[in-house]
Amino acid sequence: MIRLVFALCVLAVPCGALAQNHGHSPYAGMEGRDIKSLSDSDLDDLRSGRGWGLALAAELNGVPGPAHLLELQDRIGLSAEQVTAIEAIFAAMQTEAQAAGERLIAAEAAIEAAFRAGDLTPERLRTLIDTAADARAELRFIHLSRHLETPPLLTAEQIARYNELRGYGAADPCANVPEGHDPTMWRRHNNCG
């Protein structure tokens, strides 16, 4: 009886559904990576100290980052003093981000190695994951905190121009506080009068 029910269930599954189960996973091809969770692009970004998308909370809320400010300095009208100060912020960020990126890579490599070894326990896995999460959190802090350092160096007009050049919403962040943001904090971070 059980065999009959199973056979009927199998026959009831459309052929297309069975074919889908034999298709490729979206992860196909990643099994050859040294560290499965990190692409070559990820590794390059982490080793170079690039943002890796970790500062989007600041960037997309009108709080400029040092790297893009330096890229746009002529179009924003930064003074020599502003450029010097932003270069110092950027240099410190790069040094710290590269070191934190290496820690994150090492932590992900340790998880990879533990799975390859095949003797991983839940307790050891928790420790490895916590180490990787701490490294990622530190890296995110490094990038986001540098966004906090730039607004006091800029005029409201420069911040507005930055956001305009980056293609973000309203040209005047002082006149348009995004929903969900504390207006006082927003204006302070955007150097509004």
φ and ψ of 121, to 5 deg: -105, 160
The residue type at 102? E
170 pLDDT more than 70: no
Q: How far apart are CA 60 and CA 83, in angstroms?
A: 22
Q: Which domains does the chain possess?
A: 53-189 (1.20.120)
Closest CA relative to residue 140, chosen from 107, 186, 93, 180? 93
Q: How far apart are CA 193 and CA 190, in angstroms?
A: 9
Tokens linked to 64: 């400029």
Closest CA relative to residue 27, chosen from 18, 19, 39, 17? 39
pLDDT digits (tens, 9 = 90+) for 38-70: 999 999 999 999 988 999 999 999 999 999 999
This model's pTM is above 0.75:
no
10 pLDDT more than 50: no
pLDDT digits (tens, 9 = 90+) for 70-121: 999 999 999 999 999 999 999 999 999 999 999 999 999 999 999 999 989 9
